Amino acid sequence: MRTTALRNSTLTLLVLAAVGVGCLVGPLVVEQVGYALATGENRAAREQLAKLSGYDRMSELYRAVAKAVKPAVVVVHVRKKIDMSGHPSVGDMDEFMKRYFGRSPYGNRTPGRTPGGETPKREYFSSGVGSGVIVDASKGYILTNWHVVQGADEVEVALLDGRRIKTEWVRTDQKTDIAVVKIKADRLIDAPLGDSDKMGVGDCVMALGAPEGLPQTVTAGIISAKGRTTGRRGYENFLQTDAAINHGNSGGPLVNMKGQIIGINTAIVSRTGVNEGIGLSIPSNMVRNVMRQLIDKGEVVRGYIGVHIQDVDEQLAKSFELPNADGVLVAGVAPSGPARDAGMEAGDFIVNVGARRTKTVNELRNYVAELSPGQSVKVKLYRDGKLKTVTMKIAKQPDDMLSAFNAPQRKAKAIKKLGLEVITATGEAAEKYGFDKTVKGVLITKVTPGSDAEKNGLASGQLITKVQGKAIASADDFNKAVASAKAGGIRLLVKDKAGGQRFVFIEFSKS
């Protein structure tokens, strides 16, 4: 019995010991097994990744595009001179010193002047940074934005190799926010302009530049949309991209996967002022035309047909018996110009200009602007529900578009006799000079320096309502009244935009 009990006790102790060892060693074994499994899975994932990465061509493509384009990308440094001479802060300091210290730091001399009595120049420079891209290495032409170089006294570009070169000239077009600068340097590398019309939504693009002053930054994304407008500038047809664009990127290129420039980065749409994934780029096909004119002529000459235009909705299209809303409605025709000469009328619905389909106001405006003055084009339009074609000769866009749409204005023949010129106070012209559009009379547009009219305080923008006590309503009325006057001068009733009016007698010039 004792032997059997001893044997049982020994077995029990061995079992308990085994259980105890198992409790201690078991978790370690499980952990080791789990680690082995995880390591195996990771190794398998790595092996799979190594295999799949062999199919990755995008990284290689992005790398090649960046390598090809980066040498053409420059940083544009601008300096603007600020004249602080005569700034009120000088006088403010003088008063402060007198009040609290009982004396002026300027002694007996006038604040802001030297002991000799001269006004010293107090000039400062503000600096800014933008981006640009070389588009012609042989001639040193670089594209950037108008708003980058606007008002700059000095413009300098920094190249990829570290050289900083001052520009020979800067030419700009505010209406498209395009600028071309020229430098003289060797060993330049350029990037070609591509065809922005061939880009589609979803196409891969890269933006290059110096965002926040960080040179040679490359970001990637896609074309998010085409034909975007903001209404802030005269001519817009932006490419929208989600490639990151921030302050300093302005003027840099947006390129396709062939390394071609398909846009010049110009703005972002953001509530915070920094990138939110909505960048805007001027399409290369618009850039190309503007750039060529700036280089060849120093300015941009745009086509003009002389119409007020608007987009239409479905209801408006139906009321005009139009097949659809894809076109541009003529709301008004200028008193003179290509459209008037071609017989166009308010209510005409333009669907084609030349070979170009024009579905929106923006498309029509941009396309006409690209046409050369003197060029003849056929315009397809609907009138009274019927399709017809007219031919018109493109004119040069006038500097003052507002005056071009006013009624024909005959200048007063009395310019030499009275020393002033007038136009009929039509609604738009009256509002332009600050008057109610319902006023009647003639607006003074020019006063001869040294004339009796100038001596009597007449100036451009004033309104003449009566001549010799008789109300006038047009430049023709004014001309007739002056021509019929027999005395050595004439009495005018003149009104200013503040509402004041007075009688003035102007002597006729003897010359």
In total, the chain counts a number of residues equal to 511
- Which residue from 282, 226, 227, 220 is spatially nearest to 250, judged by alpha carbons? 282
Radius of gyration of the chain (CA): 37
Cα 365 to Cα 176, 310, 338, 467: the distances in Å are 13, 11, 14, 42
Number of Cβ within 10 Å of residue 192's Cβ equals 14
In sequence order, the β-bridge partners of residue 124 are 82
Non-local (6+) Cβ contacts of 295 within 8 A are: 141, 171, 180
Six-digit token string for 225: 């949309």
Active site residue 177: yes
- Measured distance CA(306)–CA(395) in Å, rounded: 9
Q: Which of 131, 147, 224, 281 is catalytic?
A: 147
Q: What is the DSSP letter of 65?
A: H
Residue by residue, DSSP assigns 205-216 as EEEEE-GGG-TT
- Which residue from 437, 344, 434 is spatially nearest to 382, judged by alpha carbons? 344
CB 329 within 8 A of CB 310: yes
- Measured distance CA(317)–CA(340) in Å, rounded: 23
Q: Produce one character per residue of 327-338: b if its CB has 16 or more CB atoms within 10 Å, e if not.
A: bbbbeebbeebb
Q: Which of 177, 190, 348, 452 is catalytic?
A: 177
- Cβ-in-10-Å burial (0-12, 13-18, 19+) of 472 comes to buried
Active site residue 250: yes
Active site residue 186: no
- Measured distance CA(309)–CA(347) in Å, rounded: 10
Cα 508 to Cα 456, 474, 483: the distances in Å are 13, 21, 11
CB 382 within 8 A of CB 325: no
Q: Which of 250, 281, 284, 451 is catalytic?
A: 250
The set of catalytic residues is 147, 177, 250
